Amino acid sequence: MMSGVLAAATASARRSAIERSRVSAASIHAEAARRAPRGAAFGAALRQPGINVIAECKRRSPSRGVLRREYEPETIARGYAAAGAAAISVLTEATFFDGTLEHLRRVREAVSIPVLRKDFLSTEFQLLEARAAGADAVLLIVAALADADLGQLLERSRELDLAALVEVHDEQELTRAIDAGASIVGVNSRNLSTLEVDTGTFDRLASRLPSDVVAVAESGLREAGDLRRLKARRYDAFLIGERLMTMDEPGAALGVLLSAASEMRT
C-alpha cells in the first residue's frame, strides 16, 4: 500500500495527466507519431563496459528542498554528456520536484545520448507524453502500480519503442518486476514513504537480480568507491542526482566522479 510522498506524487501526477489528456490528446498523439525513440539504445548504453551513469536533472527534491535556484536543464545535460554520462534522467513531476515536460524537451534538443522521463507514471497517456517530448525511456515504480497496471504499461512502453526502467525497493517488488517482464531494473535505496536511505538494499537484492536483466543502482551513491563496489556486485549502471545537482558545475563533478571510479582497482 502506498503512503507518504509516493502516494501523493502518484495521485497528483495522475490527476494532472487526466486533465492534460482532456485538452491536448490529439496534439500529443500527433507529436508522438513524429518521434523515433531509441529505447534499445538506452538499455545498450547501460550495459557498456566500465562505469555507466544516468545523470539526473532536477531542480528540487522532497528530501533536500530546492537544489538549484537557477535551473537550466539543457545546460546541465550538455555538461553531463560532455563528461561521459551514459544517459540523462529528467524530472518532469511538478508538485515535489518543480519539473515539467518542457524541461525534457529542452534536454532532448540539447543532447544526443538517451533521455529518461522520470516521473510518477500510471497511465498510458503519460507514456505518450514522454515519447512526444523526446524521451527514449520512462520510469515505472513498482510500489505505485498494481500488477496488472505494471504489465500493461510495460507492454505499451515496448509498443511505443520506449525502454522502461522498473524501480524496486525490496525483494517482493523485485519479484513482481521480473514476473511482469522487466528487462531493466532499478534498485532504489531510498524509501519513498520515509525518504530515508538504506544502501544495504543494494547488497540484499544483488544476488537476486537475474543475469539477463540490466541492473541500475539508485540513490545514496556518493563516492567513486560506491560505484566500483556495486559494479563488482552485479550493477551495470548508476542513477545519480542530488550528489551532482548540489555542485556548482554538475557536469564537471560527474567527470571527476567517473575519472576516480575508472582509475580505482577492485
CA dihedral 231, 232, 236, 239 (to 10 degrees): -30
Q: Which of 52, 58, 122, 129 is catalytic?
A: 58
Q: Which of 118, 124, 173, 191 is catalytic?
A: 118
Q: Which of 52, 89, 188, 191 is catalytic?
A: 188
Q: Is 191 a catalytic residue?
A: no
Q: Is 118 a catalytic residue?
A: yes
Cα–Cα distance for residue pair 59/238, rounded to 1 Å: 19
Q: Is 231 a catalytic residue?
A: no
Q: Which of 93, 173, 218, 242 is catalytic?
A: 218
Q: Is 129 a catalytic residue?
A: no
Cα–Cα distance for residue pair 235/227, rounded to 1 Å: 9
Q: Is 56 a catalytic residue?
A: yes
Copy the grid coordinates of residue 236: 551495470
Q: Which of 93, 124, 129, 167 is catalytic?
A: 167
Residues 6+ apart with CB under 8 A from 183: 43, 164, 212, 213, 214
- Beta 87-91 vs 115-118: how paired, if at all? parallel
Copy the grid coordinates of residue 10: 502518484
Q: Which of 56, 93, 173, 242 is catalytic?
A: 56
Q: Which of 157, 189, 191, 219 is catalytic?
A: 219
Please name the amino acid found at residue 214.
V
Which residues are part of the catalytic machinery?
A: 56, 58, 118, 167, 188, 218-219
